[in-house]
Amino acid sequence: MQSVVYRKISTGLSMDPQTTRVPAHAPCPLSHVSEITEEREMTRTQRNLVDTCFEEGQYESGIAALELLRSTAFKPPPDIIRQLLYIALYPPPCHTGDEQEQTQRPLSPVKGSPSKQKQLLPKISFAPTVTASGAAQKLLFSFLRTNSPDTLFRGLPKYAAVAANECATRSEAVDKDYDQDSPIAREAMCIKDCKYCWAIVREGFIQRGKFTPLPEERRKRQTKPAVGSADDDSDNACNPAPAVVAEHAWPVLDWLLRLFERDEILTEKNSGVKFSPLLLSQIPPPRGRRGPRQDTDAPLDIMFRCTNQDCNLRRSMGTRLFTLLINLSQTTDFDANMFTAAVIARLHFSPPDVILRLITSLPKTMPILRFQLALCQRYLSGVSQSCGKVRRAKPQARARCGSPVTAGSAPSAKEGGASTSTRLAGASCNDILALLESRESVELSTMIMKYVLLVAYALVQSQATPDQIDRGWKDMLSDGRLKRAINNAFPEKGEGSEYRSTLFAMHDLW
């Protein structure tokens, strides 16, 4: 089957340099993607090659066809992206022999009636194999090299059309031209029905079901092959709460983060503001759809799940997601104050090592340093004691805009920055000194936040322009007040003493 697909593709496609695909392992610079003025929809002939393979359950052949069709000039259809995600997220079998039992059903040599012989015909399983899931994951990453984030995101759920050209709005019109007769196409519709993309990586989102194998003769006549429910033994067991990231879904989470990061870079190149409109579209608008977005529970659940992992790669995903969320504070459509309160509420229930790892692993850009200042300042001042209730109440009085907010209104961040209702409060050197000298708590987590607060403030001062530098900062450094505050805030020996010695060494460089 795969060789037939290769022959059809090789004879049905031209070798125009604009339509020739980029090899999967060849470097594809970001500028190459951003220079594309318009991506055309795949032709009916092209996508029929893929649909035929998927309808027959030949997922590896269909994925191979998509790899050959992959191009900077053609958009992968949104329903095909959903099917690839479904295949990539399909849970692996608990036992290695499960798949072989379904696909290898030898005919019985016992003679019988014609109806009995039909029941013993070879049966076809439509369940994706582990090999097909790996191939789908690899192809999704390959699409990042050749197609824009807006194009790839058309198959995913969102709260609003966020792209400037509103390609997501146009995508479903193309999708309606094709029916959903194949089992994989119907099953993949569960991705479209989600509230946001965070749901698809949750444990149990896709159950390992039994795509009912049908005899070859009946399968040809049946319009809609039945798809069975999930395994009963896995559903009826008393299992703990599902993880926000399934064990087999980490590659897809990595793909989503890379997509948001690419969207962030392209947005900065086009508008001068570094944030991801696609990520903003995954945050639900407040009640009444007016005002900045503020409900970040779902991505924060994933972020803290990543931070608690033993694998360094998974921990880095938490840092990347945290960075993407912080960068949203540069647009007025995101409530940075409510986000800060939501993070603080979780930090109070986190061990010191998680706090240190999460805060200190962030890149040292100016927006992130300002966020660290606001986070530590509110944490140490005790404002976070009631932040959980504020976050859940979602007060509407904070909304200042008179029209429904869409994630595409990012230029407001470029023109005037964050509004007064969403802007992170700044900190003066006197505020920093007062928080350092505060002795309300001697817990290790408090000392960590004081350490991060002082380092972030020093870095902000080092990156500030001459007219933005706090004059009191230089005075504190020269008259010894800062050294005395460090000496009083951190112990000379024992737990937290390492921060004291580190800050004294940094003080001489400031």
User: Which DSSP symbol is given to 180?
Assistant: -
Considering only residues 121 and 205, tell me which one the structure prediction assigns the higher pLDDT.
Answer: 205
In sequence order, the 6+-apart residues with CB closer than 8 A to the CB of 432 are 453, 454, 457
Describe the crossing of helices 497-507 and 481-489 by its angle, rounded to 10 degrees: 170
Task: Judge if 160 and 299 occupy the same domain.
Answer: no
Task: Judge if 336 and 391 occupy the same domain.
Answer: yes
Evaluate whether residue 115 is within a structural domain: no
Structural domain total, the chain: 2
Instruction: Write down the pLDDT at residue 115.
Output: 60
Least confident of 83-97, 146-160, 264-278: 83-97
Instruction: Write down the pLDDT at residue 289.
Output: 75
Task: Judge if 236 and 288 occupy the same domain.
Answer: no
Evaluate whether residue 403 is within a structural domain: yes
For residues 327 and 275, the answer to whether their CB atoms sit within 8 Å is yes
Mean per-residue pLDDT, 177-182:
59
Please, which residues bridge with residue 215 across strands? Answer: 123
The closest alpha carbon to 358, from 234, 448, 223, belongs to 448
Instruction: Give the Cα separation of 16 and 383 in Å (integer).
Output: 62
Instruction: Give the Cα separation of 330 and 411 in Å (integer).
Output: 10
Instruction: Give the Cα separation of 447 and 429 in Å (integer).
Output: 18
Q: Which domain holds residue 52?
A: 2-99+121-194+205-241
Task: Judge if 317 and 357 occupy the same domain.
Answer: yes
For residues 35 and 75, the answer to whether their CB atoms sit within 8 Å is no
Q: Which amino acid is at 271?
A: S
Evaluate whether residue 498 is within a structural domain: yes
Evaluate whether residue 247 is within a structural domain: no
Q: Which amino acid is at 100?
A: Q
Please, which residues bridge with residue 40 across strands? Answer: 74
Cα separations (Å) of 406 from 166, 179, 279, 293, 442?
Answer: 12, 31, 12, 9, 44
Instruction: Write down the pLDDT at residue 21.
Output: 38
For residues 296 and 325, the answer to whether their CB atoms sit within 8 Å is yes
Evaluate whether residue 8 is within a structural domain: yes
Task: Judge if 91 and 237 occupy the same domain.
Answer: yes
Q: How confident is the model at residue 468 (pLDDT cuts 50, 70, 90)?
A: confident
pLDDT digits (tens, 9 = 90+) for 251-296: 999 999 999 999 999 999 999 999 999 999 999 998 877 889 999 9
Task: Judge if 91 and 214 occupy the same domain.
Answer: yes
Task: Judge if 481 and 367 occupy the same domain.
Answer: yes
Task: Judge if 266 and 237 occupy the same domain.
Answer: no
Task: Using DSSP, state whether 218 is helix, strand or coil.
Answer: helix
Per-position DSSP letters for 73-107, written without gaps between them: SEEPPHHHHHHHHHHHHPPPPSSTTHHHHHH--PP
Instruction: Give the Cα separation of 501 and 480 in Å (integer).
Output: 16
Task: Judge if 236 and 384 occupy the same domain.
Answer: no
| Summary mean pLDDT of the chain | 77
For residues 257 and 320, the answer to whether their CB atoms sit within 8 Å is yes
Evaluate whether residue 109 is within a structural domain: no
Instruction: Give the Cα separation of 247 and 309 in Å (integer).
Output: 11
Task: Judge if 34 and 159 occupy the same domain.
Answer: yes
Task: Judge if 366 and 228 occupy the same domain.
Answer: no
Q: CB atoms < 10 A from the CB of 473, how many?
A: 21
Residue 342 exposure: Cα atoms within 13 Å on the Cβ side:
23
Instruction: Write down the pLDDT at residue 95.
Output: 64
Evaluate whether residue 31 is within a structural domain: yes
Q: How confident is the model at residue 238 (pLDDT cuts 50, 70, 90)?
A: low
Task: Judge if 45 and 95 occupy the same domain.
Answer: yes
